[in-house]
Amino acid sequence: MKFTAQQIADILEGEIIGNPDVEVSKISKIEEGEKGCLTFLSNTKYTSFLYTSNASVAIVNKDFYPEKKITTTLVKVENAYEAFSKILAFYNEVKNNKLGRESPHFISDSAKIGNNEYIGAFSYLGENVILGENVKIYPNVYIGDNTTIGNNCVIFSGVKIYSETIMGNNCKVHSGTIIGGDGFGFAPTSNGEYTAIPQIGNVIIEDNVDIGAACTIDRATMGSTMIRKGVKLDNQIQVAHNVEIGKNTVIASQTGIAGSTKIGENCMIGGQVGFVGHIKVGNNVKILAQAGISKNIKDNEMVNGSPAFKIQDFNKSAVYFRNLPKIAAKINNLEKELKTQKTTS
């Protein structure tokens, strides 16, 4: 897949300095640029690399003027970082613009599939599955009965979506993720064994949700596990039964959310955070990495620690954590002095 400098400039509405016909087929960091590569410069501390780079085309800010001779063709734009992000998105869209149906695959006779679909080899679409327009199903994907997937969704290789799942528009699910598996529900019996509680609910994923690789989102015991509009999940996240994650919340890798916990809107949750079940987290909450959340959190709070508490109190406490050996030594010395005073008196 090749682009000329002129085509890139047209997409970005930029100005060309150099050869408009030079072609690029790869994208690279500026310090690793070679012939045929497109790169960008937005941080001035990397400017020196542009003078030694062999990249064919570089996107730069409009106010950049080279102080030395360069061989790289420049595309000048208002904001090089944003422009490069736009090119990455365009490149990714073109690269992944697969169409048609590969063989072998299985599609139930009752399934309904919109236009411009891509169905990869060894994919399985069950009874009454509904796919919207421009949906891409990569190889080795399983989609269970009565599942609905909206327009412009991408389901990457190896994803398993159990029955009755509902997914909105413009969603992306990365490889190895499992959606709609049974929640962890077991009832203890009188003889000490456990009996599985049937999980008869489903998972609902609203529009514009991105789900990373190797995540697990369990179906509800009853009702629905809810992933609201605009949520972004990193890789390897566990979402248990009947959890609700509010819109535009972002969660980093290896976080685990126990059953029936409700997380609000616009929250930012760091990696390896653990939530107990049946608690409520407010809106606009920030939770630092490796925190343990064992109780409700109000709107707009920032917490850290395990068990977690307000970040201001955590930072104050951290001063004492670091000085515990000194504090202990002082206490020991005071105890010795008291004993000495008692002995002498």
Buried b (16+ CB within 10 A) or exposed e, 141-179: bbbbbbbbbbbbbbbbbbbbbbbbbbbbbbbbbbbbbbb
Angle among Cα 285, 179, 220 to the nearest 5 degrees reads: 70
Helix (H, G, I), strand (E, B) or coil at 48: helix
Eight-class DSSP state of 297: B
Identify whether the C-beta of residue 103 lies closer than 8 Å to the C-beta of residue 121. Answer: yes
Closest C-alpha among 239, 238, 243, 203 to residue 219: 203
Tokens of 257: 């959310």
Could you list the beta-strand ranges (E) of 84-184. 100-101, 106-107, 112-113, 118-119, 124-125, 130-131, 136-137, 142-143, 148-149, 154-155, 160-161, 166-167, 172-173, 178-181
241 noted as active-site residue: yes
The active-site residue out of 105, 174, 241, 278 is: 241
**Closest-CA residue to 219 (of 201, 204, 207):** 201
| Gyration radius of the chain's alpha carbons | 27
The number of angstroms, rounded, from the C-alpha of 345 to the middle of its chain's C-alpha atoms is: 69
Nearest CA to 3 among 88, 97, 99? 88
Q: What share of the chain is helix, strand, coil (3-state, %, to 5)?
A: 20, 30, 50
Q: Which residues are catalytic?
A: 241
